[in-house]
Amino acid sequence: MADTITIPKPFDPHVHGRDGAILRTVGPMTARQCWGAIFEPNLVPPITSVDQARAYRERIYFACGGEGSFEPLVLAYLTDDLDPRELARGLAEGVFIGAKFYPRGATTNSDSGIVDVTRLWKKGSRQFDLIRALTDHRRVCQLHCELNHTLDGEELDPYDKEAYFFQEVMPRLMEAHPDARFSCEHLTSKEGAEFLFEHGSWNLGCSITPHHLLFDRRDMFRGGLCPHFFCLPVIKRTEHGEALLKLIAYGRPFVYAGTDSAPHDRRKKESDCCSGGMFSAHAAVELYAQVFEGIGLLEGRHFPEFLSINGPKFYDLFPSEETVTLVREPWTVDSMIQYSENPEDVIVPIGYHPDPEKRLVLNWKLRTA
């Protein structure tokens, strides 16, 4: 195998930049590796208006250097109160690249999410009209593909939430909105992979994170409960990761990278109510390279298509003509990420461990100018 790999500059269609000091710290990490990214709208308060979206894009732009070499894109947060006309205006003006569906209470800052998922396929409802607005403008609705309860109100096991979504929700959504464009975000399950393999198209795609490919649920419990491996959707058994790798290996154009990089203050992870999410923006390209090397697909078309081509095309964007180069150079993440002058304000990135012997060894390093 060659000692360098050069690919088109990647695009990240799913990243959490947060806001304020955290955004100013983590935003440049994504901008260093990617020509553009879609920043999730689950702020507090959520991004539900054109004015909010414009202001957030501007904050991201300046946090990432403000030099025009990085393009931040934002989504509207679908809520029960969002006016379909406001969504349509933002889509028409190019302020929203699409919108995001969160089931209420399913993940970080999802308290404003849709309460009753069935209203998404009930004609005449506001929620139905939100999907119609996206369809009319040929824009993508990102889906957090989980429910906390069945359609009959029974609480779901956390390891079954995604499987249930693909069994009961996706078929109804696709039947009610046959021309809509959906992206199933951070796919984690065998059931989801099988659904995408059978039904995936230019109207139905999926993003896959590096952490759901590199780890399985044993990692969260090895040596005691490890809160920094807790994310939503939860990491599952090895068989589910293998199904995701198999889906990637088929090389379908509707399967693409999406880090779901989710920074949380260490204290929120190591607390009595652990926040869900894993931070990967510090080494996103290197983490994906680790995955592809492990399945023998780092050289050839699969890696650049997954990381740099398929995602932009699904969102009707042009892949970058710039390139990035990876060099074979083993390294480890040797420190946490401090995001303010307070030494206690830190984020624990994927790969870091206070014991140097337990740190993840990454085989490739991104070469930067």
Residue type, 118: T
Which pLDDT tens digit goes with each residue over 174-189?
999 999 999 999 999 9
Q: What is the residue whose two structure tokens read 């569906």?
A: 101
Query: Tokens for 76?
Result: 């509207």
- Mean pLDDT for the chain overall: 97
Q: Is 152 domain-assigned? A: yes
For the chain, the straight-line distance linking the first and the last C-alpha, in angstroms and rounded, comes to 24
Q: Is 38 domain-assigned? A: yes
Q: Is 28 domain-assigned? A: yes
pLDDT of 45: 97
Which pLDDT tens digit goes with each residue over 207-245?
999 999 999 999 999 989 999 999 999 999 999 999 999
Domain of 113? 8-320
Q: Is 364 domain-assigned? A: no
Query: Tokens for 114?
Result: 């849709």
pLDDT over threshold 70, residue 369? no
Q: Which has the closest alpha carbon to 33: 58, 7, 54?
A: 7
pLDDT of 154: 98
Inter-CA distances, 339 with 18, 61, 79, 327, Å? 12, 18, 30, 28
pLDDT of 197: 98
Which pLDDT tens digit goes with each residue over 313-359?
999 999 999 999 999 999 999 999 999 999 999 999 999 999 999 99
pLDDT over threshold 90, residue 65? no
179 belongs to the catalytic site: no
Determine contact, residues 31/56, Cβ cutoff 8 Å: no
pLDDT of 66: 79
State the average pLDDT over residues 269-296.
Answer: 97
| Residues 6 or more apart in contact with residue 135 via CB below 8 angstroms | 177, 179, 180, 181
Inter-CA distances, 368 with 5, 31, 32, 337, Å? 13, 12, 8, 19
pLDDT of 279: 98
pLDDT over threshold 60, residue 258? yes
| Residues 6 or more apart in contact with residue 11 via CB below 8 angstroms | 34, 35, 36, 37, 308, 311, 312, 317, 319, 320
Which pLDDT tens digit goes with each residue over 97-137?
999 999 999 999 999 999 999 999 999 999 999 999 999 99
Q: Is 68 domain-assigned? A: yes
pTM of the model: 0.98
Q: Tell me, what CATH number does 102's domain have? A: 3.20.20.140
Q: Would you state the torsion angle of the CA atoms of residues 77, 311, 147, 16, taken in this order, to the nearest 10 degrees?
A: -50
| Residues 6 or more apart in contact with residue 198 via CB below 8 angstroms | none
Distance CA 152, CA 141 (A): 25
Would you call 26 helix, strand, or coil by DSSP? Answer: helix
* Length of the chain in terms of residues written: 369
Q: Is 133 domain-assigned? A: yes
Q: Is 359 domain-assigned? A: no
What percent of the chain is modeled with pLDDT above 90? 97
pLDDT of 69: 85
Main-chain dihedrals φ then ψ at residue 221, nearest 5 degrees: -115, 0
**Catalytic position from the list 51, 260, 316, 345:** 260
Distance CA 170, CA 166 (A): 5
| Number of structural domains the chain divides into | 1
Q: Is 368 domain-assigned? A: no
